[in-house]
Structure 1
Amino acid sequence: MECRLCLGSAPVESSVSIFGDRHPQRLEQRILTCCQIQVKRGDGLPDTVCLSCKTNLESFISFREACFRSYETSQLRLDDCLNIKTEEVLLEDVTWDDESSLPTIHQENNEICSKPFPSESKLILHKRSHTREKSYTCDICLKSYSRRSNLSYHKKCHTEIRYKCDICLKSFILKHHLESHLRSHTGIKPYKCDICLKSFTRKYGLTSHEKSHTGIQPYKCDICLKSYIRKDRLVIHLRSHTGEKPYKCEICLKSFSTKTILESHKTFHTGIKPHKCDICLKSFTRKYCLKSHEKLHTGIKPHKCEICLKSFIHKYDLVRHKKSHTGIQSYKCDICLKSFTHKYDLVRHKKSHNVE
């Protein structure tokens, strides 16, 4: 038997099948993590490894995970020591020696939100969030920003230096963004909600989640009146009304409404599918796709239709099913004017017009 990794020969009893390992993290996945070698069943290469290489892989994985855990612990300690609020300090939280040292509160001409600011420069900077004025322009790609700090951060994307994830090959401009991304592979979620105990890999994810417990949704769409907890979610939602898709794939030129969707799309061009189902061995490019797929093996259908009592595994299947009870057919063929309830039925129907 020949070892896939070192090409050394070993007797059958000292060889381990790559695709027969029952470890929670399958052997082919560990090889990909450690060596960046894609192992596929039936590719004509050896499908076994020797015990020595298998031991080295396990030692490397253990060492790597220990390093991640140590880093997370150190980072949490540092966050506790440097728990400094970098945003604007509320005036009522500041104590002054005497009244003469109180700063001038610039509130005049701020008729939009009436928020006070200690200086004229901060007032002018804040007003740009309402007027969407972008005074700082990148001299390379001409993209504009309202803050100089945002422009400085953006310019780093034009440099050749990028921090790349060794597992999924995703690149990042800043090193700490890569370190935060690596938690999605290790499964470490150090930030926990005190109310519902839900955990998050990033601190801002926890901060955003905690707002959902207040019930306050201050950002409202003027078109459909839908409300959101965060302003960036409202901005993304507004694109569904305007049709704006500012993020374009450099490979196929397809456009998307959010950067997250674009990054998810790019993984399809790499062909790498690091997330594999332990039951049927099907692979996926995104972790959430794997989690959605794994529900098929449980057989549990928690989403039930109140009208016909039919159950579904995923909520979006239930939402799509409910349209069949309304009788509304929103999708119309522009060739024969026939209407359909679901978009995929319209797409399938249009193929009948292109038989020739």
Structure 2
Amino acid sequence: MECRLCLGPAPAESSVTIFQRPGPHPECLEQRIRTCCQIYVKRGDGLPDTVCLSCKTNLESLISFRKACFRSNETSQLRLDDCLKIKTEEVLSEDVIWDDEPSLPPIHRKNSEICLKPFPNKSELVLHKKTHTGEKLFICDICLKSFMRKDTLDIHLRTHMSEKPYKCEICLKSFTRKSYLERHKNYHCGIKHKCDICLKSFTQKSTVVSHMRSHTGEKPYKCEICLKSFAHSNILVIHLRSHTGEKPYNCEICLKSFNNNSSLSAHKILHAAIKPYKCDICLRSFARKHLFVSHLRSHTGERPYKCEICVKLFIRKGALVRHLRNQHR
């Protein structure tokens, strides 16, 4: 019996199985090793499936240290934001006291001081204020992702435990959140929300609002680092990873990392040797759609990428980039 991490002796009485989830609050040691050590472990891969108590203690210490770092960073950021806010208020505000200004005890103030949104009780107001400060004190012990609310963290943990308590009574499909189930029911009920411009239908009203930005050109989500704007918040989240270098999506076969799930899905096709995109003209097949689209231009003669200096046309964007670098520097 060897320890998977240090290869030291790990007898059964003083070791822990990687794939076991002990205790009243299940923990996945497999996920923790993958997150903290960047080592992919898989049941039945022929390698040791236990860790010694010393390595388990070190792993827990590492996770605790990382969580403490995340919390300290959040606290420091909040202090900096408060400091900047105070300095801004000192510059913009005037020291005027209104004698006839009505005052209410703090306990009765149920409106957010920032957006003035009303709330039925103080606890809801406190939770709402975190959306303005960005405070995220609830951290997942497995992947270290942070959340503003504990109930959101509890829902997130279901993704690690494969727990889906909300089941559709019609097709028996299960979901991790009640809101996902309610949205799914619209497919069975045939509820549609239509775009007034292109008449395209959607099952969710929020999706229509997001879709309308493709017509208006509105991009309300801005990157604070490079100031680039985006129409959807999820695209901004993916874009921010290009600055931080974060790549949370890992290929289970070759361990290559990606910053979004769609890139990972496209990459997995290469391992499966599946090429779903087939050219009807020359019968050549492609694993990725963008390669297939580029290939079709070799038959149609379309060259959408134009050099603004010498007006030369290209089939692919990469070819234009190489041309600019080699010919025009």
TM above 0.5: yes
On the 8 A contact 1:221/1:227 being kept in 2, the answer is no
Task: Return the match for 1:157 from 101, 117, 131.
Answer: 131
After superposition, residues 128-147 of structure 1 pair within 5 angstroms as 139-140=113-114
Deviation digits for residues 187-243 of structure 1 (CA, Å, limit 9, x no counterpart): 333334455554433222233233345555432151x44332322222222323333
Tell me what 1:303 maps to: 277
Alignment-derived partner of residue 70 in structure 2: none
Name the structure 2 match of 1:37: 36
What is aligned with 1:292? 266
Contact 1:275 1:286 in 2 (8 A): yes
- CA displacement at 1:299 relative to structure 2: 1.0
Tell me how far apart the structure 2 counterparts of residues 139 and 335 of structure 1 sit (CA, whole Å): 54
Instruction: Judge conservation of contact 1:276–1:284 (CA < 8 Å) in 2.
Output: yes
Contact 1:331 1:346 in 2 (8 A): yes
Structure 1: gaps (5+ residues): 15-20, 24-28, 42-47, 61-136
Q: Is the 8 A contact 1:273 1:285 kept in 2?
A: yes
CA distance, structure 1, for counterparts of residue 283 and residue 196 of structure 2: 34
Q: 2 CA distance for matches of 1:301 and 1:197?
A: 32
Inter-partner Cα distance in structure 1 for 2:271 and 2:216:
40
User: When the two structures are superposed, what TM-score results if normalisation uses the length of structure 1?
Assistant: 0.53
Paired AA for residue 310 in structure 1:
R
- The answer for the alignment partner of 1:202 in structure 2 is 177
Residue in 2 aligned with 1:244? 218
Structure 2 distance, partners of 1:154, 1:327, is: 55
**Within 1, Cα distance between the matches of 2:168 and 2:288?**
26
Equivalent pair of 1:219/1:230 in contact (CA under 8 Å): no
- CA change 1:167–1:322 in 2 (3 A) is farther
Task: Tell me which of 171, 193, 203 is aligned to 1:229.
Answer: 203
Contact 2:18 2:49 in 1 (8 A): no
One-letter amino acid matched to 1:204:
S
Partner of 2:72: none
Uncovered stretches (5+) of structure 2, i.e. residues with no partner? 12-16, 20-27, 41-47, 61-110
2: CA distance, partners of 1:52 / 1:209: 45
If the length of structure 2 is used for normalisation, what is the TM-score?
0.57
CA distance in 1, matches of 2:267, 2:273: 11
Which residue type is aligned with residue 33 of structure 1? R
Give how far 1:259 is off.
1.4
* Residues 16-67 of structure 1: per-residue CA shift (max 9 Å, x gap): xxxxx998xxxxx9476269633479xxxxxx9984239958xx9xxxxxxx
**1:337-356 equivalences in 2 (<5 Å):** 337-352=311-326, 354-355=328-329
Alignment of 1:1-356 (within 5 A): 10=8, 30=29, 33=32, 37-39=36-38, 51-53=51-53, 139-140=113-114, 148=118, 154-159=128-133, 160=135, 162-193=137-168, 198-213=173-188, 217-222=192-197, 224-315=198-289, 317-319=291-293, 321-322=295-296, 324-352=298-326, 354-355=328-329
**Counterparts of 1:54 and 1:314, CA distance in 2:** 45
Question: Partner amino acid for 1:230?
Answer: Q
Q: Distance in 2 between matches of 1:35 and 1:182?
A: 16
User: Per chain length, whose mean CA-contact separation is higher, i.e. which structure has more relative contact order (CA < 8 Å, sep 6+)?
Assistant: 2
Counterpart amino acid of residue 301 in structure 1 = K
CA contact (8 A) 1:10 1:50 kept: no
Structure 1 Cα separation of the partners of residues 266 and 160 of structure 2: 17
d(CA) in 1 for partners of 2:280 and 2:190? Answer: 27
How many aligned positions are there?
Answer: 253
- Amino acid aligned to 1:179: D
Q: Is the 8 A contact 2:3 2:51 kept in 1?
A: no
2:24 maps to none
Q: Please give the alpha-carbon distance, in whole angstroms, between the structure 2 residues aligned to 1:311 and 1:169.
A: 40
CA RMSD of superposed structures (Å): 4.6
Runs of 4 or more off by more than 6 Å in structure 1? 2-5
CA shift at 1:180, angstroms? 1.9
The alpha-carbon distance between structure 1 residues 197 and 4, as it changes in their structure 2 partners (threshold 3 A), is closer
